[in-house]
Amino acid sequence: MIQEGYKLDFSNQTFGVILYGQPGVGKTTLAMSDGNNGADTLLIDLEHGIGRTNPLHRMNCKVLSAANYQEVKKDLETPEAKAAKNIVIDTAGALVEYLKQWAMETQPGAKDRNGNWNGLKGFGIVKTEMDSFVNQIKTVMNKNIIFIFHADEKVDRDGNPIQRLRCEGSFRNTVWTGIDFGALIQRQGGKRYANFIPDDDNPAKGCHGIEGKIEIPDLSAGKKNDFLAWLFDTARANMQKENDAVADVIKGYNKIMEDVKGMVEGVTDADTANACLKAIGSMDHVLTSKKECGKMLNDKCKTLGLTYQKASGSYVAGDAK
Amino acid sequence: MKTRITKTLLDSWNYMFDCAEGFEQEARDEFITTLKREPTPPNEAQQAGLDFEKLVMRIAQGEDVTRLEKGYNGAKQIADIVRGGQWQVHVDTDVEVDGRIFWLHGFIDVLKAGVIYDVKFKTKSFSNLDLWHCYRHSSQHSAYLKCVPEAYEFVYLISDGNDLYTEAYTRQTAEPIENIIRNFMNWLKGEPELLKIYEERWIVE
């Protein structure tokens, strides 16, 4: 089914999320906050951290434990995995380690001639498989994917502490590209926060109205663990609002670009170029359409040997100088 | 007096403070070369960047490019984003800073539907890099968001030939170009000989 972009329905939109922070800050509990005591969540528990969470918050959660990557992949085919709405990878750094082991066992290129890990080729293999794995969850299975990372505290050139995602290989960089939300989970003054504010010190990402430093609700006294459920619902509603608000803008932009493309195709000499220039100038432009149309016309004029004369504001044959 | 200013000049100045330890003199020499507007052939990394950008353009424009071409995987991901946009768009605007007018101008890699895209190539693999906010000190997004007020976002599309990493800036997150120019001019005032060169060679006729 092909739909116009401005008519899209986001009620079933899925998301990619990064949660990172220091040990013990509650990342795993937060990752299970589907508002249903974990019933909508499959947790791929690669660091055996599930035992440290409150049993009430994980009582309905499905937990995938595996000795190796092959088992993880196999278990993703089970009805339990297919039924989950959220798939949590706890932690992404550990998954890379599992993938390294898998690559050493099954991929000849991952080893050097002495049988040791060949970092250069090996990480390329790991990266390709990781992309395929993430794609399977996000696109094929259409699940929300939640990556948990440990925070790696480093120092910048001036000696100030900075946080980065703890993970070997390029995934710590490329993971951000396909992600909708990324937050540093912090504990301050007895409260917990999800910090979506990106800055030099802390990687983060917010969109669709999810931004700033958001307090994570206190979970004492049997309160509902539903932060991610709230986040996804809010983002979906905001996406729909954003889309509806710009529908006319996008329609207008597409129409102008299509019309001008046709006009530019019809330019054959200075007269038709100047007529096109005049038409572009008289349009009610949307976003950057005026500059784009001007460039489109200018490129066409160049192929016809026409140049723009600033003084007269028109195209002339040959070199304007 | 109205003088020109470009992101290349500002970035070359900025590099003096951002360069790796031990490269300070080299960075200063490079800045002076840029300030004097002396033409220099692209170095190896710059040439690799230009070649990669051409590859992206060829793929985006529908040319039949073999997957075996070096950098294809990364270039294809970028081409899919910028396809349909306009390449190498000249943009300019006058910027007033402390009563002085600067003609800010340059070329945008790709302009499409309110977004300015800039293609960056890294010769090192992403595995060995920390890319978070790696272009935060660049004047480029500040400069071009100023030149194109209709654009709402500036996106760096960064690749090592295999992977893609994106970094986006808006007017809310970019340093205003006026601040960058002001810092640049204040620094130049402390280097009278360089200020003289700037005012002679960057004057708008």
**Which residue is closest to A298 within chain B, CA to CA?**
B89
Tens-place pLDDT, residues A269-306: 999 999 999 999 999 999 999 999 999 999 999 999 99
- Report the CATH number at residue B48: 3.90.320
With the CA atoms of A230, A231, A235 and A238 taken in that order, what torsion angle do they form, in degrees rounded to the nearest 10?
50
Interface A:B, Cβ pairs < 8 A: 77
Q: Which of B111, B125, B160 sits opposite A288 (nearest CB)?
A: B111
The verdict on a CB contact (< 8 Å) between A170 and B125 is yes
Which residue intervals of A47-91 are DSSP H helices?
Answer: 55-58, 69-75, 79-83
The parent domain of residue B46 ranges over: 3-201
**Which residue is closest to B78 within chain A, CA to CA?**
A177
pLDDT score of A218: 87
Matching residue, tokens 């499959």:
A42
**Chain B residues with CB inside 8 Å of A164's CB?**
130, 132
pLDDT score of A224: 87
pLDDT at A119 over 90: no
The verdict on a CB contact (< 8 Å) between A164 and B130 is yes
Dig out the tokens for A56 from the structure. Answer: 């009430």
Q: Which of A170, A285, A287 sits opposite B163 (nearest CB)?
A: A170
Instruction: For residues A188-211, give the mean pLDDT.
Output: 92
The verdict on a CB contact (< 8 Å) between B166 and A176 is yes
The verdict on a CB contact (< 8 Å) between A173 and B89 is no
Tens-place pLDDT, residues A220-277: 777 889 999 999 999 999 999 988 888 889 899 999 999 999 999 999 999 999 999 9
Contact B126, A264 (CB under 8 A): no
Contact A292, B111 (CB under 8 A): yes
Q: Which of B89, B127, B150 sits opposite A295 (nearest CB)?
A: B89
State the Cα–Cα distance between residues A55 and B192, nearest whole angstrom. 70
Q: With a threshold of 0.90, does the pTM exceed it?
A: no
pLDDT score of B126: 84
Instruction: Name the nearest CA neighbour of A182 among A153, A214, A155.
Output: A214
Tens-place pLDDT, residues A20-57: 999 989 999 999 999 988 899 999 999 988 888 888 88
pLDDT at A321 over 60: no
Instruction: Work out how many domains chain B is built from and give that number.
Output: 1
The verdict on a CB contact (< 8 Å) between A164 and B148 is no
pLDDT score of A264: 97
**Chain A residues with CB inside 8 Å of B164's CB?**
174, 177
Measured over the CA atoms of residue A77, residue A82, residue A84 and residue A85, the dihedral's sign is positive
> What are phi and psi for residue A213, nearest 5 degrees?
-110, 115
Contact A314, B174 (CB under 8 A): no
**Which residue is closest to A119 within chain B, CA to CA?**
B127
